[in-house]
Amino acid sequence: MDVSRRTLLGTVAVGTVLTAGCTGNSSPPGGDRMTTETESPTATVQVRSHPELGGVLVGPEGMTLYAFDQDTQGSGESTCSGGCLENWPALTVDGEPSAGRDVTAALSTFERDDGTTQVAANGWPLYYFTPDEEPGDATGQGASDAWWVLRPDGSPVRSTGTDTGSGGSEDTATPTDSRY
């Protein structure tokens, strides 16, 4: 094999390995994960800067996470089920969650009624919002005056600014209503 063909095959092999890491599959077919000095595992919960809301918690793919006012902070339970859960899927994990470097909230988990393990930040169960289409979207902020993004410390942002007061909801709908 001549030098240029070896170089080409080596470049293709390296390119294939690097591209495979971008597909979202954390393990190559053999099961052992290759790492480099600059690569780190993706944290379950991370912080992303939002232009209007500041630093907010996001999931491993960069999608915004939300807290629900009808949940009780620290209870280890979720009140979102049925139609609510279809619109607001829970952040779930197999094993223990990990925090990105700017996350100061204590992360915990609890078992949902369906047997999955949901992640909580500062005691607030975490959810995604299905209409958020790409990282940086926060279209669920303030929905039904009950859904809020969270700061890096796990405190809900109950406005478009920096207010993290206790808030609450005047809405009389139940968490299983599809409008949640």
Report pLDDT digits (tens) over 67-90. 999 999 999 999 999 999 999 999
> What single-letter DSSP state applies at residue 89?
-
**Are residue 144 and residue 69 in the same domain, yes or no?**
yes
**Are residue 25 and residue 50 in the same domain, yes or no?**
no
Question: Is residue 36 situated within a structural domain?
Answer: no
Question: Is residue 116 situated within a structural domain?
Answer: yes
pLDDT, tens digit, 9 for 90 and up, residues 18-76? 333 333 333 333 333 332 232 346 899 999 999 999 999 999 999 999 999 999 999 99
As beta bridge partners, residue 92 has 118
Residues listed for the chain: 180
**Are residue 22 and residue 107 in the same domain, yes or no?**
no
**Are residue 25 and residue 105 in the same domain, yes or no?**
no
Which residue range forms the structural domain that includes residue 122?
Answer: 46-149
Q: Which amino acid is at 20?
A: A
What pTM value is reported for the model? 0.69
Parallel, antiparallel or unpaired: strands 66-68 and 92-93: unpaired
Helix or strand (DSSP H, E) at 10: helix 3-20
Please tell me the total count of domains within the chain: 2
Q: Which amino acid is at 92?
A: T
Q: Please name which of 46, 67, 63, 42 lies closest in space to residue 55, comparing C-alpha atoms.
A: 46
Q: Tell me the CA distances in angstroms from 36 to 6, 21, 41, 114, 165, one per residue in order.
A: 23, 11, 11, 37, 43
**Are residue 79 and residue 145 in the same domain, yes or no?**
yes
